[in-house]
Chains A and B, each alone.
Chain A
């Protein structure tokens, strides 16, 4: 099954170890990683940074909007609205600030008020990440989900997972995911191999 997964860690070294372990699992065939990146939420201000390579970040454009949307999408439909809105405060590892709120998020925020009491919505509001936390964001194919769960639990990671089908259909409309060959824009920001995560 193809899934988008957010693996949440309390510090950078744990997150780096999580990213390494993920690609080792790919190498031995426990699962297949299609791409992965690490994001962190700052202690001050709650900004989210996207780690990159020390050389060129490997992305065509600033990664903030894409990964903000994906973080929200893993949280579910409510998170999608917040994830897009949160992109306004997200910067890439290259410290490129994203300006402006995504249009769709403005209207969506009003709907959000109706479900604000809901625990799930409350959780989504923080994009799965508390201040100071890190997340390995990845798209994987896995036949046994407990393998990744057990490995990341051993590294003190907490896993949130949604199927690729659900995320893409929620994000781009019903039946978007029909032939499996479509790749949403945020996949561009998931590295297709291991990299040493670096923050400016």
Chain B
């Protein structure tokens, strides 16, 4: 149980870092390049793949949250790329799309963390009086 919580804590931190990095890109949009976008986009996709694989080791409820997060992270880069092709303010729009995906993923992972923490609490013996 501890290993599974640790693994999720790491994934949650990665999603939070990703969100921060994307919001920094947006804050500095005039200096943000396509290469910067590709870096965060690839990170989002990789985290999504990792969550999808790790989800298979979890029980159904936790798995549901993790797969939901994975889906958001994997879909956002593709949607963002679609925005890239549209032209005006393209890079900002693409980063905003990625921001939405990372935000939703971070929250879904935190729900998975909460679920596992709750299960750990329920499984631990009650303190002696």
Contact = CB atoms under 8 A, between A and B. Distances in A.
Interface of A: 2, 29, 32-35, 53, 55-58, 60, 139, 141, 143, 179-181, 183, 187-188, 192-193
A143 B100 contact: no
Nearest to A54: B27
Contact of B64 (A55, A57, A179, A188): A179
A56 B103 CA distance: 14
Interface residues of B, number: 29
A89 B117 CA distance: 39
Contact of A181 (B20, B26, B27, B108): B108
Given A55-B24, A193-B16, A60 B100 contact: yes
Interface secondary structure of B, over-half rule = helix
B104 A183 contact: yes
B37 interface: no
A56 B96 CA distance: 11
Contacts of B68: 181
Nearest to B106: A192
A37 to B, nearest CB: 12
Contact of B103 (A32, A53, A55, A192): A192
A34 B121 contact: no
A147 to B, nearest CB: 12
Contacts of B110: 32-35, 192
A192 B19 contact: yes
Contacts of A179: 64
Given A181-B64, A192-B19, A56 B107 contact: no
A58 to B, nearest CB: 4
Interface in B21-67: 23-24, 26-28, 61, 64-65
A141 B100 contact: no
Contacts of A141: 111, 114-115, 117-118
Given A143-B118, A183-B108, 7 more contacts: A34-B107, A56-B27, A183-B107, A187-B107, A188-B100, A192-B16, A193-B20
Contacts of B117: 29, 32, 141, 143
A53 B28 CA distance: 13
B65 A181 contact: yes
Nearest to B100: A60
A55 B23 contact: yes
Interface string B64-108: 110010000000000000000000000000001001100110111
Nearest to A182: B68
Contacts of B99: 58, 60
B15 interface: yes
Contacts of A193: 16, 19-20, 106
